Amino acid sequence: MSQSSTETVPITFILENPRELTDTDQDTWNVSGAPGSQLLDVALDSGIEVEHVCGGVCACSTCHVYIEEGMDSLSEADEEEEDRVEEAPGLQRNSRLSCQCQIIDQGPIVVRIPAWNRNAVKETPH
């Protein structure tokens, strides 16, 4: 590993349905992320296909995750994110939108991706 690597924050993704997100049975992924990165981008760059219908611009709640550890290593939720995450199923105190979680400290960070993350209800044409 190069010492100049900027991906220094340890992140563990726990996948409740790994087959849907990675096409593997691996339910725990230990990766690294760079300060300033969004959790959604770290997951996608690691091969974890977190749903993100709006493209990661905080216009939906499909990238809803649970932060099990390291909430203080992430940016705080703003009002727009709080409004969107309230629309997500399975809302908990540690619910966040992964597209809005910017890494701001050294972690470690543990993220649980719920089994229902996949967008099972797609819009149908009128």
**Cα–Cα distance for residue pair 72/91, rounded to 1 Å:** 19
Per-residue pLDDT in tens (0 to 9) along the chain, 126 residues:
333 356 799 999 999 999 999 999 999 999 999 999 999 999 999 999 999 999 999 999 999 999 999 999 999 999 999 999 999 999 999 999 999 999 999 999 999 999 876 544 444 343
Per the CB < 8 A criterion, the answer to whether 39 and 98 are in contact is yes
Nearest to residue 89, comparing CAs of 121, 57, 53, 43? 121
Which amino acid makes up residue 92? Q
Domains within the chain, CATH numbers bracketed: 9-117 (3.10.20.30)
Q: Which residues contact 82 (CB under 8 A, 6 or more apart)?
A: none
pLDDT, position 2: 36
pLDDT, position 118: 56
Q: How far is C-alpha 97 from the geometric centre of its chain's CA atoms?
A: 6
pLDDT, position 117: 64
